[in-house]
Amino acid sequence: MIATAPAPTAVEPREHYLNAGYGVKSWLLTTDHKRIALLYLASITLFFVLGGAFAVLVRLELVTPEGDLMRSETYNKMFAMHGLIMVFFFLIPSIPAVLGNFLLPIMIGARDLAFPRLNLASWYVYTLGGLFTLGAATTGGVDTGWTFYTPYSSTYSNGAVIATAIGVFIVGFSSILTGLNFIVTIHKMRAPGLTWFRLPLFVWAHYATSLVIMLGTPVLTAAILLVGIERMFGIGIFDPALGGDPVLFQHLFWFYSHPAVYIMILPSMGVISELIACFSRKRIFGYNLIAFSSLAIAALGFLVWGHHMFVSGQSVYAGIVFSFLSFFVAIPSAIKVFNWIATLYKGSVSYDTPMLYAMGFIGLFTIGGLTGLFLSTLAIDVHVHDTYFVVAHFHYIMVGGAMMGYLGGIHFWWPKISGRLYPEGWGRFSALVIFVGFNLTFFPQFILGYLGMPRRYHVYPEEFQVLNVMSSAGATILGVGYLIPLIYLVWSMRYGPRAEANPWGAKGLEWETASPPPKENFEQTPVVTEEAYNYARESESDVSKLNRAISSV
């Protein structure tokens, strides 16, 4: 892409969004989308560490078949809090609220999101929801799992269900505000010349994600509200003892929570498209198909919720219809994977940290996607439903997929966000550690699941121990893998070498402005005259690359 803005490089000290104000107020009352992105980054990192700590305790307990580290009651709270925090307070906001918030306006050449104050409000809403959930965690915890199945959650659980439910209820609104903001911004604030089919695929992915957020989240909000009403006032909605229907809750819950998986994975796919193009220096193969497949996944996501309920007592015929529809999700997913791989063909592939994450993503997402086919296959799902097979599958999608994309994106745009370079060697090393640790943690769980170990088990028969020990060992490696970037990224904020505007030689408007960007993102509104990922074009960035090549010799 070309911008009319002159590259405002290297004249330090120059005013940018980070040094535009230093006080606490300048952060807590900011309406700058970049600062709000950093507020989100800090908050979700906190929640990630917390959710990770719960996971560590879970894996530690499962090293032995007996319940020797904690009581069942405690163990149940550990896995519940792990799921709740990771899903609602880390994965769902992760890429949209941090990278999306930071990059979306810059990528489309806008000064900010359409509603900057709403954007700040969404962070406050998120924080409020988070405080409720943290409050619940510290005052007794909750043991319903992240799924809140009734009538256990509405009648029988002794945990702090209401406080947690309020937290989840509130945090949903923060997603809705972000989604709304993105949709309006993408429609109304694109720079002159930036037509829909010149948009980076990251923007397409966020558009699709925002649609899912807007259409799905209110249903979860309603379902949670109904659980609260039944629990507080004893009004029969889900508990058959009060005249309700427990399976109704599952319909409402999965109507949101299946699409929620796509809220996590679609933005990650958007990141991967950017990374693959940049680090093969090539226009993305099949741009339109990748863009449309995001929308197709978003739409199909609303038609497949019943595949979580094949053994719930749902009718056999409903099961068959939901199974049929679920298989269709495989097609747009396969299209994406093959197009990414085709982009590598005859490219110029480099192995920088973000690219390692991108290639890791494709591999892990492939395994996650293929094992999803097992779960869509009715006769197999009957056996593996609610076992570790499911746990392994969704971790391959949510952690192997969404989390790899998030880390890849954070590394890729870190120079833009912080204005500093991170240590590349440590970056590559930790990417490999994470890849190895991840597979060692979760691959054994597929076998464990087919052998029949149910999920959410505090104690388990002895024959499952070997695989559980492997999984826990892998989790240790994975945990170390996550700590390394946490340390060097924080370190680099102060000690990393300063980054130039476009350290990767990447295309896209965000690379045309300085690192870190000025408060208004661009000195002048950029004008776009070409499609995305036009790497072959002779441009002045080639000259800067030439200079770098010469200086590195």
Instruction: Return the residues of window 94-123 that contact another protein according to CB under 8 A.
Output: none
Q: Find the binder of another protein among 140, 218, 363, 518 (CB under 8 A).
A: 363
Measured from the CB of residue 130, what is the shortest distance to another protein in angstroms?
24
The dihedral formed by the CA atoms of 404, 350, 271 and 534, expressed in degrees to the nearest 10 = -170
The span from the CA of 261 to the CA of 325, in Å, is 16
Site for another protein in 270-289 (CB under 8 A): 280-283, 285-289
Please, are residues 399 and 261 in contact by the beta-carbon 8 Å criterion?
no
Gyration radius from the chain CA atoms: 23
Between the CA atoms of 210, 216, 219 and 221, what dihedral angle is there, to the nearest 10 degrees? -40
List Cβ neighbours of 441 (8 Å cut-off, separation of 6 or more): 59, 395, 471, 472, 474, 475, 477, 478
351 token code pair: 């192995």
Identify which of residues 30 and 250 has a Cβ nearer to another protein in the complex.
250
**Token pair of 110 as six digits:** 């806008």
Chain residues 148-177 in contact with another protein, contact rule CB under 8 A: 149, 151-152, 155-157
Binding mask 215-254 for another protein (x = CB under 8 A): ------------------------xxx---xxx-------
Which one of 111-119, 206-214, 383-391, 430-438 is the stretch in contact with another protein (CB under 8 A)?
Answer: 383-391
For the record, the structure tokens of 201 come out as 């695929």
Cα–Cα distance for residue pair 199/185, rounded to 1 Å: 13
| The binder of another protein chosen from 385, 393, 395, 507 (CB under 8 A) | 385
The least CB distance from residue 65 to another protein, in Å, is 10
- Binder to another protein among 28, 459, 480, 490 (CB under 8 A)? 459
Question: How far apart are the C-alpha atoms of 290 and 518, rounded to whole Å?
Answer: 32
CB atoms within 10 A of CB 404: 27
Within residues 465-524, the interface with another protein by CB under 8 A covers: 466, 505
Q: Is residue 400 a contact residue for another protein (CB under 8 A)? A: no
For residue 257, what are the CA distances in angstroms to 54, 182, 261, 305?
21, 21, 7, 8
Q: Please say which residue, 383 or 498, places its beta carbon nearer to another protein.
A: 383
346 is a contact residue toward another protein (CB under 8 A): yes
Binding mask 298-327 for another protein (x = CB under 8 A): ------------xxxx--x--xx--xx--x
Could you give the CA distance from residue 120 to residue 501 in angstroms, rounded to a whole number? 27
Choice from 63, 70, 162, 447 touching another protein (CB under 8 A): 447
Number of neighbours of residue 527 by Cβ within 10 angstroms:
15
Q: Which of 386, 500, 520, 523 binds another protein (CB under 8 A)?
A: 386
Choose one: 45-53, 68-76, 120-128, 423-431; the region binding another protein (CB under 8 A): 68-76
> Per rule CB under 8 A, is residue 443 in the interface with another protein?
no
Size of residue set near another protein by CB under 8 A: 99
Binding test (CB under 8 A) with another protein, winner from 95, 367, 440, 528: 367
